[in-house]
């Protein structure tokens, strides 16, 4: 019971202690730890039931963080679909060079779903005209000194309420590629990982999982929850907090 209570209270205590939101990184992989074929197929590794679980989690978090690699490769919407959502999470893109194009789905839908593009102060100064164009599409452009500073800013100011007040993020879901996930892990900024493992294999032609640690290291982390969704195995492991 004590261990279970600690798992439940850990996110709150972490936020109080650090001033940062609780960060969940999720990814799907094949049974042999791959995420796609060399040609980039299949687009979906996990099954429908796993994807529905992800959409439910999107509807519970305050923000969804992704990187430019994912934006360029997948052009995601990162919205809650096909399930009833408790809230609409803010979509956040870590784009250090402020290079995101206005043709991306996240930008084209920014007026319907709150969207933040975060870059370095240097990029904002160098690309102020592009920043203004993004703002015309409804995007909030935010300059931060790095990932830790970005998360701290989201904890303080994430979304604007209808009243005009600002509310901070308590929980952030990371849906990104290996680069961003591993950078967050290297800075000690990931608290939980959600791993969806499909039963099929892809083989050596496919790129490896985005996991920021080895399979043995992952297996050694405390297991918060495990189960199945359809044919997929799902596990939630605690990284830090």
Long-range CB contacts (< 8 A, 24+ apart) of 81-88? 81/55, 82/52, 82/55, 83/52, 83/55, 83/56, 83/59, 84/59, 85/55, 85/58, 85/59, 86/59, 86/60, 87/59, 87/60, 87/62, 88/113, 88/114
Mean pLDDT across the chain: 90
Confidence band of 144 (pLDDT split at 50, 70, 90)? very high
Phi-psi region of 40 (alpha: psi -120 to 50; beta: other; left: phi over 0): left
Assess whether pLDDT exceeds 60 at residue 233: yes
Q: N- to C-terminal Cα distance for the chain? A: 18
What value does the mean pLDDT take over residues 105-119?
97
pLDDT in tens, 13-37: 999 999 999 999 999 998 888 876 5
Classify domain 2-238 by CATH architecture.
Answer: 3-Layer(aba) Sandwich (3.40)
pLDDT of residue 44: 73
pLDDT of residue 161: 58
pLDDT of residue 226: 95
pLDDT in tens, 202-215: 877 667 888 899 88
Structure tokens at 170: 């308590």
What is d(CA 174, CA 200) in angstroms, rounded to the nearest whole number?
24
pLDDT in tens, 122-136: 999 999 999 999 999
CA geometry: angle 81, 227, 204, nearest 5 deg: 85
Domain boundary assignment for the chain: 2-238
């Amino acid at each position: 019971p004590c261990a279970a209570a600690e798992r439940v209270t850990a996110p709150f205590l972490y936020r109080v202690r650090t001033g940062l939101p609780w960060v969940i990184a999720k990814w799907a992989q094949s049974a042999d730890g791959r995420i796609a074929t060399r040609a980039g197929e299949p687009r979906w590794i996990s099954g429908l039931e796993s994807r529905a679980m992800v959409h439910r989690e999107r509807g519970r978090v305050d923000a969804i963080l992704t990187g430019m690699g994912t934006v360029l490769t997948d052009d995601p919407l990162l919205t809650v679909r096909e399930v009833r959502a408790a809230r609409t999470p803010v979509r956040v893109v870590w784009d250090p060079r402020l290079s995101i194009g206005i043709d991306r789905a996240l930008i084209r839908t920014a007026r319907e779903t709150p969207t933040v593009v975060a870059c370095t102060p240097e990029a904002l100064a160098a690309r102020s005209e592009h920043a203004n164009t993004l703002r015309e599409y409804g995007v909030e452009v935010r300059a931060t000194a790095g990932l830790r500073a970005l998360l701290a800013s989201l904890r303080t100011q994430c979304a604007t309420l209808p009243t005009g007040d600002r509310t901070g993020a308590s929980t952030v879901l990371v849906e990104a590629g290996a680069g961003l996930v591993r950078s967050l892990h290297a800075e000690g900024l990931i608290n939980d990982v959600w791993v969806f493992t499909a039963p099929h294999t892809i083989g050596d032609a496919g790129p490896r999982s985005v996991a920021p640690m080895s399979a043995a290291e992952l297996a050694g982390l405390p297991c918060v929850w495990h189960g199945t969704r359809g044919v997929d195995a799902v596990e939630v492991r605690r990284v830090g907090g």
